[in-house]
Amino acid sequence: MFRTTFPVAALALSTTLLSSLPVAAETFRWAGTTDPQTMDPHAVNAAPVLSFLNNVYEGLVRRDPEMGVEPSLATSWEALPDGAGWRFTLREGVTFHDGSEFNADDVIFSYERAVSEASDVRSWFASVTEVVRVDDFTVDFVTTAPNPLFPGSIANFMILDSGWAAENGADLPARDAENHATRNANGTGPFMLAARNPGIETRLVPNENWWDTAGHNVTEAIFTPIGNPATGLAALLSGEIDFISPIPLQDAEQVEERDGFEVLAGLETRVIMLGFGHDHDSLLYSEETTGANPFHDPRVRRAVAQAIDVETIDRVIMRGAAEPASQLVPAGLSGYSDDHADRPDYDPDAARALLDEAGYGDGFSFGLMCPNDRYINDEAVCRAVASMLARIGVEANVNAMPVRGYWDELRADNFDMYLLGWSPGTFDAEHPIRFLAHTPTERLGTWNFGGYSNQRIDALLAPIQSEVDPAARQAMLDEVAGILQEDVAYVPLYTQPLIWAMQENVDVVQRPDDFFMLRWVTVN
Amino acid sequence: MLTRLMRNEGVWLFTRSPAAILAAIATLAIVAGAAFAPWIAPTNPYDLASFSLIDGLLPPAWEDGGSPRFLLGTDDQGRDMLSSILYGARLSLSIAAMAMAVALLLGVGLGLAAGYLGGRFDAIVMRIADVQLALPAILTALLIDGISRGILPREMHDDLRVTVITLAIALSLWVNFARTARASVFVERSKDYVSAAIMMGQHPLRIMLRHILPNIVGPLLVIATVDLASAILLEATLSFLGVGLPADSPSLGTLIRIGMQYLLSGEWWILWIPTVFLVVLVVAINLLGDFLRDLFNPGMR
């Protein structure tokens, strides 16, 4: 009885007022919760940025709808003799959006840019020592060791035009400040950036000179970030936008039942987890525990893991759409360890006993950092975690904030515990080891905010990257998964669901990494 | 005794007005519920250990699937809605009352002084009031909240959230008091008892507070009641917009904001119950205000 259209109309009003431009039939409008922070493909290694920019920029290789690796700016690639690296043959006749030609210089320039100090994507090239120009359309990526998965691992390494960047003073990515590449783009991709209004809307138009055949029929695409999911859904239902991801899980059923709308649900490759301040000497947000960090003790970390009832979080907050996770990658992903498929049991009594053993029987308080607009129901999950921890006497002070400032806080070590979601860009279990489990160095462990460090894992990373025999490789991945579980380096919670909704006349392709590719969109 | 009471004009009028009686009962009940929330609420919604996600999203007791433990159902965290509302009302009412008190002190003080002293001081105060009136209350409140966010470090702002909101609301409501007080002072100032007091050489402050103030209490009381309702609404609006109180100490507005997520999904009680509660509270206080206005302004009867 409350499902009348009246509240929807009232909700939609606010967004209608914001954008009262007439909607042309062939214009495709889509919305997401998070605005891509930058148009610079090397400045922020986060899915909203990479997903969006994959429509504008291109890499040497790209992923097809099934996540397979296919040629993009490189037409072919082969391993160099003795596992010394990889040779890429570049596509000829490709031009950037401003008309300049694409060649080996742009690849080398982009590589230098991506491994520079200011770049956020350096760890993609942790095993690369140099990139050698063989001729105008051939480059060699020289690696320290054989790296069989390397081509697929750089699908998000996007190529900038060297001339354009130099002309506009964007030689280096700007992570904290801004430069020309933050608001402008000059890629080779199927869409060109027509207008960028950060936080409000971003307008793309098709690239008529694209080297590939366009599979879409979009003449203009407008992205609008809508932070409030209920507002976003109302915008979809009122016809103001054609596509949105995600919609609130609680509304999926209701949208499905409506005429003219379609819901596309699945599991993302993203695991939501809790991280600890492993290398912090003391808690930052504690009234009574000063000068000590209880999370140094693996028993305390295990107590946290055992106090959290993931099944109930899934049932109530995620409406049963999530899948409990035991490792940093979801079940079924390449390299997932079947030997370590079990999560620690939900057992508050055992958790309390562990705390007692560790000398924290009376509990303690700490700060839990949490984004409130990044992952599906992220803040609600943090609050539920806080409530579950309260039952074992541990008081979590939840500090929920928009993702805009979240990564900066984590990089500034301003947390005792934090919520993180990780989707392996390479679709392999090696990826989170490189980013989250390896001791932080210049190029490795760059998202290991808590500074978790284990020598054995550090030692295993290189052999995992270079091992050609699948069984031997899996054995090493199993060992790492075992260590991470034993140490409770992170508390993996669940695999996040994908929940896209669109007008019925829109056809899209849902990739399990939640990347939204405009080149696969058709509006009927 | 009873006849004496009945002879009192106010009480007599009150007994003749069913709306006023109903409003008084509703207001009293809600205020009592809010004041005694820690004793009468089934659970403490601020105590994380007192609720469990397992009880999440239960409908009210009278619906299918409801539990008698949770009369008005639970929210997405398993918090009892009834307890959340009582504690929320407690927070909303105390913020509104504090804001009211600040606005009253500030407004009446400035209004009295402006009306009595006149001249340049009067002109300055009234121009400030005019500027303030040109700004919508919600904008003033947002402005103050925004500025405090900008200048205070985050932890401090979080700690001072209640203070900031109270001040924000107070600063957007003081004008009514100031204008009314000033206008009333103008009327009273020319009366003989004031002239007599002046001739007796009494201090202006004493004249203002002891002689004039008691005579203008009526209209101020009416405004205070009506503005209390505005203050409650303003606090709810701010919290609804997300600049008010955080989700772990929810006021009524925060509860409504949280409930908005469930507008379309069928869990109606999370949104509707706090909303209806807020509406009843505000309407009741407004009706009381109307009644007081009639009482103090016989011409309107």
Domains of chain B as residue ranges with CATH: 17-44+73-300 (1.10.3720.10)
Confidence of residue A16 (pLDDT cuts 50, 70, 90): very low
Distance from the B77 Cα atom to the nearest Cα atom in chain A, whole angstroms = 6
- B91 vs B38: CA distance, rounded Å: 12
**AA letter at A384:** A
Interface contact flag, A390 B49, Cβ < 8 Å:
yes
| Long-range CB pairs of A461-467, under 8 A, 24+ apart, other chains included | A461/A430, A461/A433, A461/A434, A462/A127, A462/A144, A462/A145, A464/A430, A464/A433, A465/A127, A465/A145, A465/A147, A465/A149, A465/A430, A465/A434, A466/A83, A466/A127, A466/A145, A466/A146, A466/A147, A466/A148, A467/A148
B77 interface with A at CB cutoff 8 Å = yes
What's the average model confidence in pLDDT over B76-86?
90
- B27 vs B38: CA distance, rounded Å: 18
B268 interface with A at CB cutoff 8 Å = yes
Closest partner CB to A384 (pick from B53, B262, B265):
B53
Q: In this predicted model, what pLDDT tens digit does every residue of A157-177 receive, in sequence order?
A: 999 999 999 999 999 998 778
**AA letter at A41:** P
Token reading at B281: 């509270």
- A424 vs B282: CA distance, rounded Å: 52
Closest partner CB to A254 (pick from B47, B78, B265):
B265
Residues of A with CB under 8 A from a CB of B: 2-3, 7-8, 11, 228-230, 233, 248, 250-251, 253-254, 309, 312-313, 316-317, 379-380, 383-384, 386-391, 393, 395-396, 398, 400
Interface contact flag, A7 B264, Cβ < 8 Å:
yes
Architecture of domain A269-496: Roll (3.10)
Token reading at A39: 């148009």
Residue B1 above 80 pLDDT? no
DSSP assignment of B8-74: SHHHHHHHT-HHHHHHHHHHHHHHHHHHTHHHHSSS-TT-GGG--GGGTTPPPTTSTT--TT-TT-B
Interface contact flag, B76 A317, Cβ < 8 Å:
yes
Distance from the B78 Cα atom to the nearest Cα atom in chain A, whole angstroms = 9
Predicted pLDDT at B14: 81
Q: Is A425 helix (H, G, I), strand (E, B) or coil?
A: coil
Q: In this predicted model, what pLDDT tens digit does every residue of A246-286 receive, in sequence order?
A: 998 989 988 988 999 999 998 999 999 999 999 999 999 88
**Which chain B residues contact residue A284 at CB under 8 A?**
none
User: Looking at the domain A37-183, which fold is it?
Assistant: Dipeptide-binding Protein; domain 1 (3.90.76)
Token reading at A61: 């290789």
**AA letter at B230:** S
Phi, psi values for residue A340, rounded to 5°: -125, 45
- A163 vs A466: CA distance, rounded Å: 35
HSE toward the beta carbon, residue A80, CA cutoff 13 A? 21
Domain ranges of chain A: 37-183, 269-496
Lowest mean pLDDT among B20-24, B45-49, B175-179: B45-49
Q: How many CB pairs under 8 A join A and B?
A: 75
**AA letter at A464:** I
| Closest among B243, B269, B263, B266 to B254, alpha carbons compared | B243
Q: In this predicted model, what pLDDT tens digit does every residue of A220-251 receive, in sequence order?
A: 999 999 988 888 999 999 999 999 999 989 89
B51 interface with A at CB cutoff 8 Å = yes
Evaluate whether A435 touches A448 at the Cβ level (below 8 Å): yes
Interface contact flag, A312 B54, Cβ < 8 Å:
yes
- B141 vs B96: CA distance, rounded Å: 13
**AA letter at A325:** A
Confidence of residue A19 (pLDDT cuts 50, 70, 90): very low
Sign of the dihedral defined by the CA atoms of residues A471, A477, A478, A479, in that order:
positive
Predicted pLDDT at A519: 94
Evaluate whether A495 touches A424 at the Cβ level (below 8 Å): no
Phi, psi values for residue B225, rounded to 5°: -65, -50
Token reading at A141: 């990526």
Q: In this predicted model, what pLDDT tens digit does every residue of B31-62 receive, in sequence order?
A: 999 999 999 988 888 888 888 888 888 899 89
Percent of chain B scored above 70 by pLDDT? 94
Closest partner CB to A387 (pick from B53, B260, B267):
B53
Confidence of residue A77 (pLDDT cuts 50, 70, 90): very high
What's the average model confidence in pLDDT over A492-520?
93
Confidence of residue A24 (pLDDT cuts 50, 70, 90): very low
Residue A472 above 90 pLDDT? yes
Predicted pLDDT at B247: 64
Mutate one of B84, B265, B271 to test the A interface: name it (highest A CB count within 10 A). B265
Predicted pLDDT at B300: 54
Q: Is A293 helix (H, G, I), strand (E, B) or coil?
A: coil
Predicted pLDDT at B266: 82
Q: Is A23 helix (H, G, I), strand (E, B) or coil?
A: coil
Average pLDDT, chain A: 90
Predicted pLDDT at A18: 39
Sign of the dihedral defined by the CA atoms of residues A405, A410, A415, A416, in that order:
positive
Evaluate whether A160 touches A181 at the Cβ level (below 8 Å): yes
Percent of chain B that is helix, strand, coil (3-state, to 5): 75, 0, 25
Interface contact flag, B54 A309, Cβ < 8 Å:
yes
- A422 vs A413: CA distance, rounded Å: 18
Token reading at B102: 């600040």
**AA letter at A364:** F
Predicted pLDDT at A3: 35
- B55 vs A388: CA distance, rounded Å: 12
DSSP state of A521: -
Interface contact flag, B78 A313, Cβ < 8 Å:
no
- A476 vs A482: CA distance, rounded Å: 10
Predicted pLDDT at B5: 53
Closest partner CB to A309 (pick from B47, B53, B247):
B53
Token reading at A469: 């025999």
The number of angstroms, rounded, from the C-alpha of B28 to the middle of its chain's C-alpha atoms is 14
Q: What is the pTM of this model?
A: 0.80
What ipTM score was computed for the predicted complex, to two decimals?
A: 0.73
